[in-house]
Amino acid sequence: MTNNIGTNIASLRKEKGTKQEELANFVGVSAQAVSKWENGGLPDTELLPRIADFFGVSIDTLFGRSIADYSDVETALAKKLADVPHEERINTAFELCWTIERAMYDQPLRPEDTLANVCSGIDEGQQRYSSIRRDNGYTEMGLGRRLSYFLLVPEIADMGKALLDGIDYPTLFADLADRTFFDTLVYLNRRDHNKAFTPNLLVKNLGLSADAAKEMLEKLKKYQLVHITTVEMDDEPQEVYTFQPSPSFPALLIFAREMIDRPNCFHYFYGGRCKPYLA
């Protein structure tokens, strides 16, 4: 079984889409050492935990042993992300989401379908998708250089009621359909939200009248997107605003775009859902 460890390391490395140098740097050895392992050599025993950490697998997996007990997989995933620098965690988590998506397709994982390999074949501005649509839930995933996202929605009882009851969607969509309101929201999402401002900012940059600027800010206040503070300026009280951004808005744009520009190039797709989405 130890004779297979080099083969397993090579397979895991190719599946992860990394070079020998990256594994070597992580473990603290030379690239020549990694090459030697993959060609029949054996790493020192004390290096095995570090090698396993690099791939996010158990030491048993390095030796080709199947794991029958998945009870602690959450701890393993948490440790893997905790070991990654903060600035890399989102990308690492997205890679794990891609692994989840592939596994739910009910087909053996193909080593060539790493996220790096899939995205490397996509030209600038192009997009690929993946979607699993079952009666017990669904996923939508964007892969590419334009948008990357992962949505997983487990089915619940009375999904339609949970989404629709007590929510005034028509008013929200009517507000968003107002081009001035939409442009204001886009502008504020592009601006440094740590900088306070007055209605005059919208007058100068969006060409609004003073009354229209105040009206837009009242609408934003309704959705708790702005916070108002009264300060003393030139011995007079004046209201200043701070924008409170929410990831809900760009997420809304992501899926609105997918409704307008319907996905047509799927890497994985399972469309066996029969149940209505708002049942």
Q: Which residues of 240-272 are buried (b: 16+ CB within 10 A; e: fewer)?
A: ebebeeeeebeeeeeeeebeeeebeeebbebee
Per residue in 5-61, pLDDT (tens digit) is 888 888 888 888 889 999 999 999 999 999 998 888 888 888 988 898 888 777 888
Domains of the chain in start order, with CATH, are 1-83 (1.10.260.40), 85-193+245-279 (no CATH)
Check pLDDT > 50 for residue 263. yes
**Mean pLDDT, range 184-191, rounded to an integer:** 97
Report percent pLDDT > 90 for the chain: 57
Q: Please give the pLDDT value at position 71.
A: 66
Residue type, 185: L
Q: Is the pLDDT assigned to residue 193 strictly greater than 80?
A: yes
Q: What is residue 235's predicted lDDT score, i.e. its pLDDT? A: 76
Q: Is 14 helix (H, G, I), strand (E, B) or coil?
A: helix
Q: What is the pLDDT of residue 45?
A: 87
What pLDDT is attached to residue 1?
47
Provide the H-helix boundaries in the chain. Answer: 5-16, 20-27, 31-38, 48-55, 59-62, 73-82, 86-103, 115-120, 159-164, 169-177, 179-190, 200-206, 210-222, 248-260
Query: What confidence category does residue 67 fall into, taking pLDDT thresholds of 50, 70 and 90?
Result: low
Give Cα separations from 10 to 23, 37, 40, 66, 115 (angstroms). 10, 8, 11, 17, 17
According to DSSP H, which parts of 56-178 are helical? Answer: 59-62, 73-82, 86-103, 115-120, 159-164, 169-177
Inter-residue contact 240 to 233 (CB < 8 Å): no
pLDDT at site 108: 78
d(CA 173, CA 43): 60
Q: Tell me the pLDDT tens digit for each residue of 20-31.
A: 999 999 999 999
Q: Quick one: pLDDT at residue 13?
A: 86
